Amino acid sequence: MTHEEVMAVMEEIRLPYAYHHFAEGESPDPPFAVFLYPGSNNFSADGKVYFKADRLNIEIYTDIKNIELEQQTEAVLDGHGIFYEKSEVWIESENLYEVLYQMEV
């Protein structure tokens, strides 16, 4: 999946979003999303990268638990045939929930 295709997925989720983070003081009111490529999981053959696989994290931030938004996000990912793992944490210092979708693209 190219970066442009990832951007199209982010547009389909229909939330304000940024790559990695919003600039200080510029984050919108929740809900909003952030995406980043925290690493790779490449496959090697003959001592070379045979197949490239970037890890992609999509982080959804809300101030209340929002099942409908999670279902909407998952419908977009499912619609693109993307396999993902999901986790959730409460960030007390920010008073926000973070729902994390991790995948390889």
- The long-range contacts involving 35-38, CB below 8 angstroms and separated by at least 24 positions, are 35/6, 35/10, 35/59
Query: pLDDT 10s per residue in the chain (105 long)?
Result: 899 999 999 999 999 999 999 999 898 999 999 999 999 988 999 989 988 899 999 999 999 999 999 999 999 999 999 999 999 999 999 999 999 999 999
The closest alpha carbon to 66, from 15, 4, 6, 23, belongs to 15
Per-residue model confidence as pLDDT tens digits over 66-94 = 999 999 999 999 999 999 999 999 999 99
SS3 41: coil
Q: Indicate the residue type of 45.
A: A
- pTM of the predicted model, to two decimals? 0.91
- Confidence at residue 70, expressed as pLDDT on a 0 to 100 scale: 98
In words, the CATH class of domain 3-104 is alpha beta
Assess contact for 35 and 93: CB atoms under 8 A.
Answer: no
d(CA 27, CA 91): 16
